[in-house]
Structure 1
Amino acid sequence: MTRAEGESWLATFIQDVLDRLSARGIGDTSAHLRWDRVRASSKVDEEKALCEAAGSLGLDPYQISDEIASFIEEAEGLFLDREALIEFVSGSIGTDKEKLLGWVRRMAKTAAGSYRLAELRDIVADVTTVAPTRDGEPAWALGYRRARSMRRACELEQNHRFTSFKHLAERFGAGQSYSLAPKVDGINALRRERPDGVHVHLRNHGDSAEARTSHLFAMARAIGDAACFPETKIAPINGLQHAYRQSAGRAFAAEFLAPVDEVMSMQNDKRDIFSIANEFAVSPTLIERQIENKTRISQACI
């Protein structure tokens, strides 16, 4: 079921329930009032975006505080794509929202070449031509397909490894000055389309081994976001687990960094999960997921 089909089914269900209540003489309830407001808001793009963003925070859009309303409205001015907006707002739960917004505003204004992947846009254009979108395609399938297509476009051998986020960034045209963005909670990376190319602002996680792994994976996710959603001008990469574009980016990153065929070959050679993960500079969990998903990765890439 697509999102549009789901929304249509739910709207019909709600209306049927309210019609039955009205037929029994119960027609002036808070449910009727809220549904009238929802229907009215759904006809105005700005109001619909605000309602969905508030809903992603688990809040009633008609009873949110001025502070939350202001946060959503400011975010709406930065993230013009509705899905990107909703995922950004939803990913802000439990964070300092003003600090997060300030970080995004600073990154959105900078034109520094230290965040630019000069060659990514042209490669993405080739990838989207070779692997066009499919109607109703699950997020993971889109991510896996585009990852394989991207590796082919980059002429990477099956056993090619990326050792760090800088190593990966350089493959897409980043210069020696490419660097991490300042630390902030609520986002892993910000991907922007600029006249001079794609810019990826990779949030600094620190200097630990786990942080280095996170940097590489987040960079691959940002590249995957550009490959899967090239029409979006600015998009967040964050910790949401079930959001469509975040799921697509994770699937892309997994298959791009650690191709399942190579992982299975190494496992057949009696390599354990941890040594395979170390070889690809990724987490053992990623390798486990690749092995678990080997069948559907193959099916997605048919």
Structure 2
Amino acid sequence: MPIGLEFGLAPERLDEGSPEERAAFGLFTVRTARQSLTEGFDSFLNGFRQGPLVSGYHVAEWLAWNWWRLRWEPRSASPDWSLAHRMNSIGEGYLWPNIEIWSDGVRTMLISNASAEPDAKPFRYVGSFPTIVPSTLFEAALDEFLPRVIGRLREQGVGETNLDRLWRDVIAERADPEIAKRRRLEALMGRDPDAIDDDAVEGLIGDADRLGEAAVLEVAAERARMQHENENLLTARGLEAIAQAVGYHACARDMVALDAQHRVVRDSAMPAWKLGTDVAYALRQQERLGDHVIDDHLLATLSGTSPDALTEQPRGPAALPYALDDDVGDRSLIVLPGKREVGRRFALARVLGDRLMNHQGALHPATHAYTYRQKAQRSFAAEFLAPFDSVEEMLRGDYSEENQQDVAEHFHVSPMVVNTLLKNHGRIERDWPEEDFMSATG
């Protein structure tokens, strides 16, 4: 059954407030084919409702203002992240649903939490299971809901409002490729549209010529995590300088590639962790690796570089692991920061996975961000270095920390890699209600 997603507003009467607030007052719901994300207990009715009585104008205004960040920005520790992604930050005197909304660029997560107080009044939200939908479906739900609210305003005799202006701007920006590119970069950096007057976005747009447009999006998300600290390291010039200073030589021609028989078809319904797992499985099948441990020499060979990249002490500091190809040939430099060999192995496996899953662009970054691309990388590296079937067989149902440590040592990965594999496959509970949220960087 298709999961679907619908933002609804059933009209109700309100006798006070601004004209737009009264015109769009009603029963607000967020629903899928499987569950309600807004259901709660109404103490006035002494019964359950599918949603609260609120002004749809305020929620529509919030959705329009934050459209770009809701559509593209992943979960972040940025101080103002919650204002753009948590519906209970809308304010205006209403008890809004405790729903968080964020995207990895391909799939959108809607997390509905129950009210913190068990006897909350006048409306106590019961919460729901996490909802994950293709981001295009989330777009479509807003494209249907916001014009309906605006139509309600017209029907009730309310003229031009701030919501009209906001939504008109969003529609125009989405239709203009250059402005849309800028807005997406701003969102990934945790910025509201045109909120900061500096050259950071223009710099990233310029770097796309050298690094590739898709890679620059990953850099933007990583810069948001760094919160303006050492951002000069994450520019085309900075990445090239670091690669020249501390990188290891590699050759794209020598790197393994999946043949036509083993290529994995992706779509927006596929979780990032599943894509990474499938590509890792395909590579092991193609190379006839079975459940063998991937040693440093084999990992380096498959990645088109020297084992020195894994066994030598780091040559200097770097902000993140990445591979950077030259402008003309198939030569490349691979940067692997970190002192621990298991961490460097995981980082190199991520770079290898990124090359297999993302062929375009000169830069292949392995960042800390929670974009679809980075989550798929992490999943690939975990499954390729420590195949889950073998991990499961070794653990034999005993998922204790001690057993996980033993398995990690066997495969030369960090215990966090094993732990994340168990979470992805449902053997132990997740710490967060979203797939492969842990970075497992080792």
Note whether the superposition's TM-score is higher than 0.5: yes
Q: 1:176 to 1:80 in 2, by over 3 A?
A: closer
Q: 1:89 aligns with which of 220, 224, 229?
A: 220
CA contact (8 A) 1:181 1:201 kept: no
One-letter amino acid of the structure 2 residue matched with residue 55 of structure 1: A
Secondary structure of the structure 1 residue equivalent to 2:334: strand
Alpha-carbon separation, structure 1, partners of 2:157 and 2:412: 65
Between 1 and 2, higher relative CO (CA 8 Å, sep ≥ 6) is seen in 1
Spell out the pairing of 1:150-169 with structure 2 (5 A cutoff). 150-162=283-295, 164=296, 168-169=299-300
Deviation at 1:253, TM superposition (A): 0.5
Q: CA RMSD of the aligned region, Å? A: 3.1
Bigger Rg over Cα: 2
Name the residue aligned to 2:430.
none
Deviation at 1:203, TM superposition (A): 3.6
Alpha-carbon separation, structure 2, partners of 1:50 and 1:77: 15
Q: 1:258 to 1:113 in 2, by over 3 A?
A: closer
Name the residue aligned to 2:152.
20
CA contact (8 A) 2:318 2:335 kept: no
Name the residue aligned to 2:348.
219
Deviation at 1:288, TM superposition (A): 1.8
Name the residue aligned to 1:60.
192
Secondary structure of the structure 2 residue equivalent to 1:199: strand
Name the residue aligned to 2:179.
47
Q: Flag structure 1 segments of 5+ consecutive residues without an equivalent.
A: 297-302
Q: Does 1:146 align with 2:279?
A: yes
Deviation at 1:251, TM superposition (A): 0.9
Spell out the pairing of 1:1-302 with structure 2 (5 A cutoff). 1-82=133-214, 84-93=215-224, 94=227, 95-101=229-235, 102-106=237-241, 114-120=249-255, 123-126=256-259, 129-135=261-267, 136-162=269-295, 164=296, 168-175=299-306, 182-185=316-319, 187-190=320-323, 192=325, 196-197=329-330, 199=332, 201-205=334-338, 207=339, 209=340, 212-241=341-370, 243-268=371-396, 272-294=403-425
Q: 1:109 to 1:173 in 2, by over 3 A?
A: closer
* TM-score, normalised relative to structure 2: 0.56
Deviation at 1:176, TM superposition (A): 6.2
CA contact (8 A) 1:190 1:201 kept: yes
Q: How many matched pairs?
A: 283
- Which moved further from structure 2: 1-10 or 73-82? 73-82
One-letter amino acid of the structure 2 residue matched with residue 116 of structure 1: C
One-letter amino acid of the structure 2 residue matched with residue 278 of structure 1: E
Deviation at 1:137, TM superposition (A): 2.0
Alpha-carbon separation, structure 1, partners of 2:315 and 2:364: 15
Deviation at 1:105, TM superposition (A): 4.2
Deviation at 1:150, TM superposition (A): 0.7
Cα deviation 1:54-95 (Å, max 9, x = unaligned): 01222112333223333332343344334x332220111223
* TM-score, normalised relative to structure 1: 0.80
Cα deviation 1:121-146 (Å, max 9, x = unaligned): xx3241x5423314332211111111
CA contact (8 A) 1:190 1:236 kept: yes
Alpha-carbon separation, structure 1, partners of 2:327 and 2:272: 25
Secondary structure of the structure 2 residue equivalent to 1:91: helix
Deviation at 1:27, TM superposition (A): 3.9
Alpha-carbon separation, structure 1, partners of 2:153 and 2:208: 37
- Report the structure, 1 or 2, having the larger helix content: 1
What is the percentage of aligned positions where both structures have the same residue? Answer: 23
Deviation at 1:227, TM superposition (A): 1.4
One-letter amino acid of the structure 2 residue matched with residue 99 of structure 1: L
One-letter amino acid of the structure 1 residue matched with residue 250 of structure 2: Y
Alpha-carbon separation, structure 1, partners of 2:265 and 2:343: 28
Q: Flag structure 2 segments of 5+ consecutive residues without an equivalent.
A: 1-132, 428-442
Secondary structure of the structure 1 residue equivalent to 2:374: helix
- Which moved further from structure 2: 250-259 or 17-26? 17-26
